[in-house]
Every structure is written in structure tokens, then in C-alpha cells.
DNA sequence: CCATCATATGTCTATATGAGTATATGTCAA
DNA sequence: TTGACATATACTCATATAGACATATGATGG
């Protein structure tokens, strides 16, 4: 699943499908990608459980399977506490960092 | 960033760091990975902006940079509406799917 | 049946990268 | 300075895979 969204084409496909289900042809057109490439990415997404499809006439209608995406969402939540804590920013100031720390950012201090 | 979390070793590193900052040696030990591998994964994570580090004595103390992780979290939110909607499950029943659909789930139907 | 449309798959190449090993860099202590 | 420790990098090999092309599969209409 994590691997499935690691590719930008697939992320674009998912973003398209998030707006509503699509056929392969519609994706091929809207994303301006060769059809075999779309099909192969859809295959990866299907194997990862990120999308489902149904056959409608000669078309294959794909749509997002929210469940798999939700797992990804849940995984990122383990870091939620970190970006809620202002400690983090504060920590930056207490320790001397040796990368791109703009030590002159004296504007935002005093979080209420 | 998406690529950074596509690897399970790196996800484990991030999960460790989510619990608190660590030195490379601590990660090497707790994850039971060879040290060069840990360093290389940390390098990828650093380049992706997922972690930061500071030098403390002979040690390098790494910690999560929540900002980058938050972006990932935000990306997954575009699918939030989908797993909130019950339409999705309903849609399964209206169309004939050709995968693992338990067609005998006749309990939830009738929302006009 | 055949022809056509829509999609999937196979094959090839180039490239990215993870694992493993050896070694370089850098820091501290004496 | 030397030596030990902590970490980073270089190098090699094997594997995974995206891209592009050709082609196979499957459904529809006559």
C-alpha cells in the first residue's frame, strides 16, 4: 500500500478517482498517459487494495477503496502528537542545530 | 516523501523516532539492523525532510520532523469523505461486482 | 461468425535502490 | 599526536520496476 502511493502516476490516478469513479479510458485521457501504463498502475493499485473495479459493458469502471487509504491515514496519525506539540519548535531553539535553522525567527514565540 | 515511507525499514525507523529521539546506535540496536543500513535509510529520510538530527558528542541524535509527515497525513485526507460515506458500501450492492462481494448481505438496504 | 472497441498483459530496456561489506570521516580522551 | 568509538559513505551485487511497444483478452454489435 505504501509502495502503491509512492509513485506519482498512481497518486494522480487515486486523486482522480477520489473525485469519482472513472473508466480506464477516462483516466488515460485526463492524465495524458498511455493506456497500458494506466492499466498497469491500476493493477498495482488493485493488488494493494487501493482501488476496485467493476465491468460495465466494455468498460471497466474503477473507484477508490477507502479502506486501504484509511489505513495509510491512520498510520500517519502516530505522528499527530508531534505536530500538535509546540515543544518541537521550542526544542529547535534549545539545541544548536547544524542545518537550515533560521535562528533569527524571533517573531513567533509565546503561544498564548 | 511518499517514497521515503514506502520502505518498511524506514517506517520502523520513523515509528521508533515517533516515540522519542534516538541515536543511530540506538536505532541500530532496537531495529536489529546493520548500522550502515540504518545510516543510509536515515539519509533518505533526511533528504525527504522526514527527520532531522543534531550532533551531540560523538552521537547523532535523530528525531522526526512532523511537518513532512503532516503533509502525508493531509494528502490522505482527500479520501476522508469516501470512508465516511456509506454510499460506498451501498454502491457495492447496486452494481454487480466480480470480486469478493458477499452478495448475501441483505441487511442494509432501503435508504430510498 | 467477424470486426471493433476497451482493457489487460507480455517483453524489453534503463534505472533506481536495498542489502552487504569495507572503509572513510569525525569526535572524544589521554 | 594516537587510539577507540560513532557514524557516514563508497562500492558491488541483485532485484524491483517504470516506461514504451506490441499483442492478447474480452465484450458488443452486426
Cβ distance B73 to A79 under 8 Å? yes
- Residue B88 belongs to a domain: no
H-state helical runs in chain B = 8-18, 24-31, 35-48, 66-76, 80-84, 87-94
Cβ distance B28 to A19 under 8 Å? no
| Range(s) of the domain holding residue B17 | 4-68
- Residue B21 belongs to a domain: yes
Query: Is a pLDDT exceeding 60 seen at residue A10?
Result: yes
**Closest residue (Cα, C1') to D18:** A37
- Residue B15 belongs to a domain: yes
What is the rounded distance in angstroms from the CA atom of residue A6 to the CA atom of residue B1? Answer: 8
Distance B30 CA to D12 C1' (A): 28
Q: What does the pLDDT average to over A15-19?
A: 95
The beta-carbon neighbor of A83 closest among B6, B14, B70 is B70
Domain tally, chain B? 1
For B1, which residue in chain A has the nearest alpha carbon?
A6
User: Which tens digits make up the pLDDT trace of A51-105?
Assistant: 999 999 899 999 999 999 999 999 999 998 888 765 545 555 555 444 433 333 3
Q: Which of A108, A48, A88, A95 is nearest to B69 (CA)?
A: A88
Block mean pLDDT (10 aa), chain B, length 112: 96 96 95 96 96 93 93 92 67 47 36 38
Residue A98 burial (10 A CB sphere; 0-12, 13-18, 19+)? exposed
Q: Which of residues 85-104 of B touch A (CB under 8 A)?
A: 88, 91, 95-99
Amino acid at each position: 500500500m505504501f509502495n502503491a502511493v509512492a509513485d506519482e502516476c498512481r497518486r494522480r490516478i487515486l486523486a482522480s478517482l477520489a473525485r469519482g469513479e472513472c473508466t480506464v479510458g477516462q483516466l488515460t485521457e485526463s492524465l495524458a498517459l498511455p493506456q497500458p501504463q494506466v492499466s498497469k498502475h491500476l493493477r498495482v493499485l488493485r493488488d494493494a487494495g487501493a482501488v476496485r473495479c467493476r465491468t460495465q459493458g466494455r468498460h471497466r469502471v474503477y473507484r477508490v477503496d477507502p479502506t486501504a487509504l484509511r489505513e495509510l491515514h491512520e498510520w500517519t496519525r502516530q505522528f499527530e502528537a508531534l505536530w500538535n506539540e509546540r515543544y518541537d519548535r521550542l526544542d529547535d531553539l534549545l539545541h544548536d542545530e547544524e542545518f537550515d535553522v533560521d535562528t533569527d525567527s524571533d517573531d513567533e514565540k509565546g503561544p498564548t
